[in-house]
Chain A
């Protein structure tokens, strides 16, 4: 394999593993690493093979780029998908990340679920609501069949308002908490 082919195959692998970044970011990185390999080989007289070895596997290099950029971008994002993807990456790095990911999934699932049931209430009024039995909360949500006596539904159409408010607050809080956790993690080990 010629040296140009060796460099090209390394850069192709790098480009491939940089997938989640934008094309502009990706090409900038590939161009810079290409220049580095040529400069380093020229300066030290080392073979391209040695220089590539010193750079480490393309996959590992790409991972370092992705971690830094994805977590940083996510910490400014409001999209649950982007935020959860970043926390999933964080989860592979230690207990803190795992807890954040777990709470994130939990928060979005409950919050989203509540909002969804609020929307279902007008469609399935008899099956949606909050049921109490002897003063204790029995179940809430959309239930088939709805709980029968002595349990009774207490909120009626107010369920829409309550579920919307509580669900939205939970979604907002989860988003806020994840963004903060990502910022904190950026200042520690996660960024490197």
Chain B
């Protein structure tokens, strides 16, 4: 008789795996959103939504920004806005630009290699259809 499994194995949770993947990429995405200039938190969220498929829980990005700043990859300043309250703008530091450049290279070669590896998988699926 098959024992009921108390905990599903890691491989049984593609959704969770995808969530992990997205989360892991967020740090790079947050840095990338600042490549062209300074933005504040809500702008970063909107930028990522409109330029990629990264739809974030609104609370997700702020702890990441705080950590990236603590690591010296971002700097921030409070700027008075018309809204009546100041906003915290983030900007890449020199170290942040350098890190992002290296991340982009590593990511592109990694993703390229994986895509080639996955080509037959996706190709076969189309044949079956």
Is A43 in contact with chain B by the CB < 8 A criterion?
yes
In the complex, are the beta carbons of B63 and A68 less than 8 A apart? yes
Residues of A within 8 A of B59 (CB): 54-56, 60-61, 64
Is B20 in contact with chain A by the CB < 8 A criterion?
yes
The interface size of chain B toward A, counting residues with CB under 8 Å, comes to 24
In the complex, are the beta carbons of B67 and A32 less than 8 A apart? no
Of A28, A35, A40, A191, the most chain B CB neighbours within 10 A belong to A35
Tally of contacts, chain A with chain B, CB under 8 A: 72
Q: Assuming the A-B contacts A29-B62, A36-B41, are A69 and B67 also in contact, with contact meaning beta carbons closer than 8 angstroms in the complex?
A: yes
Q: Assuming the A-B contacts A40-B42, A56-B57, are A64 and B83 also in contact, with contact meaning beta carbons closer than 8 angstroms in the complex?
A: no
Whole-angstrom distance between the alpha carbons of A61 and B58 in the complex?
10
Residues of B within 8 A of A33 (CB): 62
In the complex, are the beta carbons of A38 and B85 less than 8 A apart? yes
Residues of B within 8 A of A29 (CB): 62, 66
Could you tell me the distance in whole angstroms from the C-beta of A22 to the nearest C-beta in chain B?
A: 11
Residues of B within 8 A of A34 (CB): 85
Whole-angstrom distance between the alpha carbons of A36 and B88 in the complex?
9
The interface size of chain A toward B, counting residues with CB under 8 Å, comes to 29
Is B54 in contact with chain A by the CB < 8 A criterion?
no
Kindly list 9 other residue pairs between chains A and B, CB separation below 8 angstroms, not including A64-B63, A189-B20: A32-B88, A35-B88, A36-B42, A36-B58, A36-B62, A64-B59, A69-B67, A72-B67, A189-B24
Interface residues of B (CB under 8 A from A): 20, 23-24, 26, 40-42, 57-60, 62-64, 66-67, 70-71, 78, 83, 85-88
Q: Can you give 8 A-B contacts (C-beta < 8 A)? A: A29-B66, A34-B85, A35-B86, A35-B88, A39-B42, A43-B42, A56-B59, A65-B62
